[in-house]
Amino acid sequence: MSAAPTVVILGAGVSGLCTGIQLLKAGISSFTILEKSDRVGGTWYDNQYPGAACDVPSHFYCYSFEPNPEWSRKFSGQAEIQAYLQRCAEKYGLIPHIRFRTECAGASFDERKGVWRVRTSDGEELTTHVLVSGVGQLNRPHVPDLPGLADFEGAAFHSARWQHAHDLTGKRVAVIGNGASAIQFIPPVAKVAKQLTIFQRSANWVVPRGDYAYSERAKRIFRSFPWLLRLYRWYFYWQLEKNFLAFGGEGRIARMMEKGARGWLESAIPDAKLREVLTPDYRVGCKRILIDDDFYPALARPNVSVTTSEISRITRDAIETKDGASQPVDAIILATGFETTSFLAPMQIEGVDGKKLEEIWGPGAEAHLGLCVSGFPNFFMMYGPNTNLGHNSIIFMIEAQVRYTVQCIQALAQRGLRYLDVKPDVQERYNAELQRDLSHTAWAAGCKSWYKTASGKVTNNWSSFTVKYWWKTRRPKLEEFKRVPRT
């Protein structure tokens, strides 16, 4: 392959857009982005619940090559982040490359021709040399199998599919779940609802966010001194990066973090009984730490209550719990998270010899550097297995993955290769080391979380500092791949 390979990218979120931009920067314009919705932004378009915002500082939750002096706050909201991504897509000329309302149903690798055949859910087939997944880990809402849910007669929807047409003012609202999404929309909903009941299965560690707005003067300074903006960005990077110390084995920092979180709980919740309900029984970091200023104060409101009894069933107009109580409600919001450990499902990805990704991932997904899977040539995943973080910006990881992928694509062209396929022993060694490292982290400690499978294998999180991931991915080692020349 001496001409630039063709590339199909799945998803126009942070990863897909970044891949497109870097391909264009590398002089490769032979790519198409398939996006199932009608706008760019991915998760930042899907999640439009009230209060949706990012809990990573905006000046580090943006592309390194596209700093934004205009961020309105330390932690900007969903609409602002989506608008930023839209601006990037327009500025870099990506829009003509995007096919909106086009969903990928699956893809199979044709080894003889060295191409992927990508099927859309409309039955169309596209052929491409390289397939890049930018669908991430948090795109398919998890709807729990609660008896009676389908018969509920009020409004019921998932937080990532918010139904704005349902005005919750003066309503009795139930929220199932209390993770990162729930804690952001509970405060605004509590302000308007008649009554809000949170069905909590387990408590979370919550630390204050310390949000603030940037003044016009601050923005002017950022605009005038780009180097200062860059310095500010790296200040956030190192501030976040150090937090891995709390997850990576050594207990002292974790205990300090727990102490801080307990202090915040004490100061925000005067009711000792409620404090007990809200105190986690597992090590900090095992589940995602929640970063918020408004959640605890909202729980202290007289119209808000927390129920810990397990839900037994849902009737036409109420939620019944195992303690025999029945809570009449007008609306149910499922803040129950996402299907995280099945990664690319329900897409059917078939590699060499018809090997199915979902089958080989049966015991738990794994990949080399979270990017490539042996037997699935010329296939790269952004934000794939074991690349999620509990402490820093995922955009940093995504940029590292995109850099690696673009270099692999360039190697295909420059070396006249039909395909690159990571060697099985390379992938095996990498994952053995990764799982060894993960076994010492907070994620492997005793809790259930979306970071791991039902059997306890941590499939979602990276095992170390992000700087280590950056180092490992800065240049692909082509000797780690089976390199098949064009015939």
Burial class, 386, CB count within 10 angstroms (exposed 0-12 / middle 13-18 / buried 19+): buried
Q: Does 391 bind ligand NAP (CB under 6 A)?
A: no
Residue ranges in 95-134 that form contacts with ligand NAP under rule CB under 6 A: none
Piece in contact with ligand NAP (CB under 6 A), picked from 2-10, 84-92, 181-189, 433-441? 181-189
User: Where do the DSSP E strands lie in 95-167?
Assistant: 98-99, 104-110, 115-120, 125-128, 130-133, 155-158
Binding map of ligand NAP across residues 201-220, x = CB under 6 A, - = no contact: xx------------------
Residue ranges in 137-156 that form contacts with ligand NAP under rule CB under 6 A: 138, 144
Burial class, 445, CB count within 10 angstroms (exposed 0-12 / middle 13-18 / buried 19+): middle
Number of residues that bind ligand NAP (CB under 6 A): 25
Burial 20-32 (b: 16+ CB within 10 A, else e): bbbbeeeebeebb
- The CA distance from 426 to 299, in Å, is 50
Q: For the CB of residue 312, give the shortest distance to ligand NAP in the complex, in Å.
A: 11
Q: For the CB of residue 54, give the shortest distance to ligand NAP in the complex, in Å.
A: 4
Q: Does 179 bind ligand NAP (CB under 6 A)?
A: yes
Strand-pair category, 125-128 with 115-120: antiparallel
Pick from 268, 294, 296, 304: nearest CA to 193: 304
Cβ distance to ligand NAP smaller for residue 322 or 429? 322
Q: Does 180 bind ligand NAP (CB under 6 A)?
A: yes
- The CA distance from 197 to 174, in Å, is 5
Q: Does 393 bind ligand NAP (CB under 6 A)?
A: no
Q: Does 89 bind ligand NAP (CB under 6 A)?
A: no
Q: Does 176 bind ligand NAP (CB under 6 A)?
A: yes
Piece in contact with ligand NAP (CB under 6 A), picked from 171-179, 230-238, 264-272, 297-305? 171-179
Pick from 349, 294, 331: nearest CA to 135: 349
Q: Which long-range contacts (CB under 8 A, 24 or more apart) does 147-150 make?
A: 147/312, 147/313, 147/314, 148/313, 148/314, 148/315, 149/314, 149/332
Query: Which of 85, 107, 182, 444 touches ligand NAP by CB under 6 A?
Result: 182
- Count of CB atoms situated within 10 Å of the CB of 227: 7
Residue ranges in 423-462 that form contacts with ligand NAP under rule CB under 6 A: 448, 450
- The CA distance from 285 to 390, in Å, is 7
Q: For the CB of residue 114, give the shortest distance to ligand NAP in the complex, in Å.
A: 36
Residue ranges in 335-354 that form contacts with ligand NAP under rule CB under 6 A: 335-338
Pick from 182, 181, 155, 179: nearest CA to 168: 155
Residue ranges in 185-204 that form contacts with ligand NAP under rule CB under 6 A: 199, 201-202
Cβ distance to ligand NAP smaller for residue 144 or 424? 144
Cβ distance to ligand NAP smaller for residue 74 or 356? 74
What is the C-alpha R_g of the chain? 23
Q: For the CB of residue 30, give the shortest distance to ligand NAP in the complex, in Å.
A: 33
Q: For the CB of residue 201, give the shortest distance to ligand NAP in the complex, in Å.
A: 3
Residue ranges in 253-312 that form contacts with ligand NAP under rule CB under 6 A: 288
- The CA distance from 291 to 331, in Å, is 26
Cβ distance to ligand NAP smaller for residue 1 or 261? 261
Piece in contact with ligand NAP (CB under 6 A), picked from 89-97, 180-188, 227-235, 433-441? 180-188
Piece in contact with ligand NAP (CB under 6 A), picked from 79-87, 176-184, 301-309, 378-386? 176-184
The answer to whether 307 and 199 have CB atoms below 8 angstroms apart is yes
Query: Which of 15, 108, 178, 393 touches ligand NAP by CB under 6 A?
Result: 178
Q: For the CB of residue 202, give the shortest distance to ligand NAP in the complex, in Å.
A: 4
Residue ranges in 317-336 that form contacts with ligand NAP under rule CB under 6 A: 335-336
The answer to whether 463 and 472 have CB atoms below 8 angstroms apart is no
- The CA distance from 435 to 444, in Å, is 10
- The CA distance from 81 to 79, in Å, is 6
Tokens 């940037």 found at? 214
Residue ranges in 45-64 that form contacts with ligand NAP under rule CB under 6 A: 53-56
Q: For the CB of residue 78, give the shortest distance to ligand NAP in the complex, in Å.
A: 9
What is the phi-psi region of residue 416: left when phi exceeds 0, alpha when psi lies from -120 to 50, beta otherwise? left
Q: For the CB of residue 449, give the shortest distance to ligand NAP in the complex, in Å.
A: 7
Q: For the CB of residue 31, give the shortest distance to ligand NAP in the complex, in Å.
A: 28
Cβ distance to ligand NAP smaller for residue 212 or 471? 212
Pick from 85, 76, 82, 74: nearest CA to 218: 74
Q: For the CB of residue 178, give the shortest distance to ligand NAP in the complex, in Å.
A: 5
Burial class, 75, CB count within 10 angstroms (exposed 0-12 / middle 13-18 / buried 19+): buried
Site residues, ligand NAP (CB under 6 A): 53-56, 138, 144, 159, 176-182, 184, 199, 201-202, 288, 335-338, 448, 450
